[in-house]
Structures are given as C-alpha cells and as structure tokens.
C-alpha cells in the first residue's frame, strides 16, 4: 500500500472569509473523490488541521501500489479539483511512502 500525504498553505493576502470558503470547498471536493477513482482506496482532506500543524490544508490518500499514483493523479475527477487548490493554496509539500 502507498500512502500519499500532501499539505498546502493558503496564499498570502486572502481574507478570513476567502480562507473559510476555499478551505471548505477544497475539503468537500477532495473528499468527494472517494468512490470516483477506481484505484483510490481511501482519501481524507482536512482544513484546518489541528492547531499544532504548520499547514492549512492536508490530504491523506491511499492506493495499492506506486503504479496507481499516476492513475489517481491524472484521473479527470482529481484534475477537476486542481484549479481550486491552485487558486487559493501554495507551498505544496508531498510525501509518498
């Protein structure tokens, strides 16, 4: 099993309302990928994470093997979420293991 963990921060200059709206939309759209992508075994997005975190949005997902990562990342349902994430978030960090 491969675990795919990604985190982002909000882009500078966003208002609290923009942060709240964008965070809620990102979480809703990312979590809705469950069941839409055949190789995706599990997904969970959270915004905001616990106060001890140093990021604003985190995504945890699982696929069976490393070969499934490109299929997940390039799936049209996943690609449809990216414009929202790119518009409001920056400082992407990723760890696959």
Average pLDDT over residues 64-68: 96
Residue 50's CB: how many other CB atoms inside 10 A?
7
Quote the number of domains for the chain. 1
Virtual CA dihedral for 23, 4, 95, 11, nearest 10 degrees?
-20
Confidence of residue 63 (pLDDT cuts 50, 70, 90): very high
Which CATH number do you get for residue 79? 3.30.70.100
User: Domain range for residue 80?
Assistant: 2-96
16 pLDDT more than 90: yes
Confidence of residue 73 (pLDDT cuts 50, 70, 90): very high
Question: What's the whole-model pTM score?
Answer: 0.93
Q: Return the pLDDT at 49.
A: 84
48 pLDDT more than 90: no
Does residue 48 have a cis bond before it (omega within 30 degrees)? yes
Residue 73's CB: how many other CB atoms inside 10 A?
14
């Amino acid at each position: 099993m491969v675990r795919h963990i990604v985190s982002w921060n909000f882009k500078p200059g966003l208002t609290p309302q923009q942060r709240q709206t964008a965070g809620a939309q990102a979480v809703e759209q990312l979590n809705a990928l469950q069941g839409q992508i055949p190789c995706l075994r599990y997904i969970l997005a959270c915004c905001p994470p616990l106060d001890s975190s140093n990021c604003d949005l985190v995504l945890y997902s699982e696929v069976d093997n490393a070969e499934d990562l490109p299929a997940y990342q390039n799936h049209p349902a996943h690609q449809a979420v990216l414009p929202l994430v790119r518009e409001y978030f920056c400082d992407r960090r990723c760890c696959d293991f």
